[in-house]
Structure 1
C-alpha cells in the first residue's frame, strides 16, 4: 500500500506547488518527498511533474493522475469523517441478541425509549435461548445470563436474579412440599434444555457449605423458560426458574417457592460485546440507556 502514500504526497506537492512546503505539511523531509515522487513516476513509467529551479508544473499525464489522486484523498477524508460521526453520534444498525423470555419481558419494553432518544439508530433484535457466537454471527451486543466463559469479549454486568423452585399451591397440596432438595426425586420436575447441568439441579447447603447436586426427571423438557413457567402455572409440575420470569407470579400467589433455605446461586445478567478499542457510539449509547432503564425499574423488577 506504499504507493497510496506516494499518491498522497504527490497530491500535496501539486497543491503546495513546492517540495519544501509539501514536506513541512506532511512532516517529512524534502528528500523523502522527492523519493516518493520518484518511486511513483518509476512505477507508472511516466513523468508527472516538470521541475525547474523556480516552479513546478504538471505534465499532461500528471494532470490526469492528479485528478484521480485528489478524488481518492477526498473520499478517504470523507470516510474518516463518517467513521468519526459514527463514533461520536449513535447511528447505523444495532444488532442485539437476547434470551427469549428475558428479551420479551425485560428488553423489549426498553427499546422504544432508546429509539426515540436516538432516531438515527436502526435496531435489529433476535431472541434465541441458544448460545450465539457474537463475532461470527455479527451481533453488536448480546445479553447473556449465567457464568461466562473466558473469551476476548467484553462483559458488563447489568443485574442478577434469584433462582427459585416453584409450583402452584394446588400442586404442592396434592403432592407434598419438599423439605430437602432430595425430596424432588419424587416430583415431576420440568427441565430446561440449555441448563449446563442437565437432569441435575444444584443447591446451596442450608449451612452455607458445599453445593448439593440432585438428579431430577420429568415429563417436559423445553428450551425456553416461559414454556416451563406456563406448564408450572397449569399445575403440571415443578420448575426451577429465575425470578425475572416468575417473580410476578410468586408475588401474586399463583406460584409458590419452596426450599428457599437451599436457594440455588443467583444468576448474573450481562451485556456482552466484541472487544474493540473504539467502542461504537451506538453500542455505548444503548448500554448506558439500558443500565439507566434497569436501575429506574429496580423496584418493579422481580429479580431479587
Structure 2
C-alpha cells in the first residue's frame, strides 16, 4: 500500500473531485484514479461511488476515511518537525463555524489566506450545530458561545457586543422604547435556534441581575440575516451581535441603535467567540498558521465592532 494512494484518497474524500485532487498534488487525473483503484483492489472494497457528475464515499469509504485521516495528520506533523519544513504552509486544513459568521466574515478571510499560501487547501464547513472536532476530523472550530469540552485547546477571539435596533420607519410608526420592559409592547423579530426562541437579557451594570424578556412578534426565523432584512424593512426590532450587521446600515441611518444605556445579550452570561482545536491538530504548523491569520484579520478589537 503506497502512501500516495492514501493521500489521494483523503483528498478526493474531502473535495469530491479527482480533478481537484490531481491539481492539488500536481499530477495527472489518471494517476489519482489509478492509485485509488489500486487501493480499492488491495483492500477488496469499493471506497467511492463514481458517476459523471460526482464522486462520493461509500459506507466503507467513510469509515476508512475516519480511520486514516488522523494517521496522515500525525505523519505530516512528524515530517514537519523532522525535516524542518514547518515554514512551508501546505496541505489541507478543515475549518468549521456558524453559517452566518462563515458567510459574512470567515469565507473572505479564507480567500485572503489562500492568496498568501497558495499551496494550502481549506475545507470550510458551515453549520449552526455544535460539532465534536475530534469525531468530525476538523482542525479548527470557530465557536460562538460557551466552551464545553476541556480536552480541546482554545484561544479567545473576543467577547460579542450586541446591538438592539430598528429602522427609522418602524420607530416613526411605533415609537422608541425607553426601557427593556417597553419592548413587551413592541414588535420583535425573534431568532429561533436549536434550543428554541432566544431570550433577551438586559443589564445596566455588569453585576446587576438581568431583566429577562421573551420577545414576541409575527416573524421568527433560524436565519439571522432574514431577521436583519426584516428590520431594515421596518417590520420590527432585532437584537444581534455586531458581526451580523453591515456597518453601512448604521452609518447611513438605515438602522438606529436602541437603549444605549443598557447592555443586551441573548445569553445569561457574556458569550465569547473562540478558536478551538484538538490537541493533536494544534501541533501542526499549517493549523497554527491559519489560527494566527484569522486572529490577525479580526484584530484585538474586532473590526466588526466599528459599526457606528
Name the TM-score class by shorter chain: 0.5 to 0.7
Structure 2 vs 1, CA of residues 81 and 99 (structure 1 numbering), >3 Å: closer, same or farther?
closer
Unpaired runs of 5+ in structure 2? 1-72
Q: Is the 8 A contact 1:160 1:303 kept in 2?
A: no
Structure 2 vs 1, CA of residues 147 and 291 (structure 1 numbering), >3 Å: closer, same or farther?
same
Q: Is the 8 A contact 1:199 1:217 kept in 2?
A: no
Query: TM-score scaled by structure 2?
Result: 0.65
Describe the SS at the equivalent of 2:193. coil
Query: 1:45-92: CA deviations, max 9, x gaps?
Result: xxxxxxxxxxxxxxxxxxxxxxxxxxxxxxxxxx99754334524332
Q: Is the 8 A contact 1:189 1:238 kept in 2?
A: yes
Q: Is the 8 A contact 1:94 1:122 kept in 2?
A: yes
Structure 2 vs 1, CA of residues 178 and 118 (structure 1 numbering), >3 Å: closer, same or farther?
same
Provide the rounded CA distance (Å) in 2 between the counterparts of 1:216 and 1:235: 17
Describe the SS at the equivalent of 1:136. helix
Describe the SS at the equivalent of 2:110. helix
2:101 aligned with 1:102? yes
Provide the rounded CA distance (Å) in 1 between the counterparts of 2:282 and 2:273: 24
The structure whose Rg is larger is 1
Structure 2 vs 1, CA of residues 292 and 198 (structure 1 numbering), >3 Å: closer, same or farther?
same
Measure how far apart 1:114 and its partner are.
1.4
Query: TM-score scaled by structure 1?
Result: 0.66
2:141 aligns to what?
Answer: 142
Superposition pairs of residues 172-251 of structure 1, within 5 angstroms = 172-194=171-193, 198-205=197-204, 209-246=208-245, 248=247, 249-251=249-251
Structure 2 vs 1, CA of residues 133 and 219 (structure 1 numbering), >3 Å: closer, same or farther?
farther
Q: Is the 8 A contact 1:165 1:238 kept in 2?
A: yes
Q: Is the 8 A contact 2:163 2:241 kept in 1?
A: yes
Unpaired runs of 5+ in structure 1? 1-78
Structure 2 vs 1, CA of residues 207 and 272 (structure 1 numbering), >3 Å: closer, same or farther?
closer
Describe the SS at the equivalent of 2:213. strand
